[in-house]
Amino acid sequence: MKITLPAILNPISRRKDKSVKISLETRELNAEETLTLMSLEGAEMWLCLAPNTEQIEIPEEQAELDEKSPSERLKGVLFVLYKQMIAKGQYVGVFENFRREHMEKIIEFVKKKLD
């Protein structure tokens, strides 16, 4: 699925993780264009921006955002929990031990769900 629309690039903001958030405005869209845009929401894709005077070449490879893997996300969440529990005096020790203990709890929880 593909859609080509004239657009104006509006506010650009930098994020803590060094990514950039952009906002685009289009002309008034018909129902088909709106549905096409809505169906693309959340999908990884190439975004090519060029002024009207430029030619655009679309890369052939898949667009990927290099997001964190689920295990990296879990580790990050466990680290935040670790910091909170340390601050409240509910845990004493190093993060690696905390992470292993909680990973084992998660593994046991999932194992109990198995037939």
Domain boundaries, the chain: 1-64, 70-113
Query: In Å, what is the CA distance from 49 to each residue of 4, 10, 54, 55, 90?
Result: 11, 12, 9, 10, 51
pLDDT tens, residue order, the chain (115 aa): 778 888 888 889 998 888 888 888 888 989 998 999 899 888 888 888 777 777 777 777 766 666 677 888 899 999 999 999 999 999 999 999 999 999 999 999 999 999 8
Q: How far apart are CA 110 and CA 69, in angstroms?
A: 19
Q: How far apart are CA 17 and CA 12, in angstroms?
A: 15
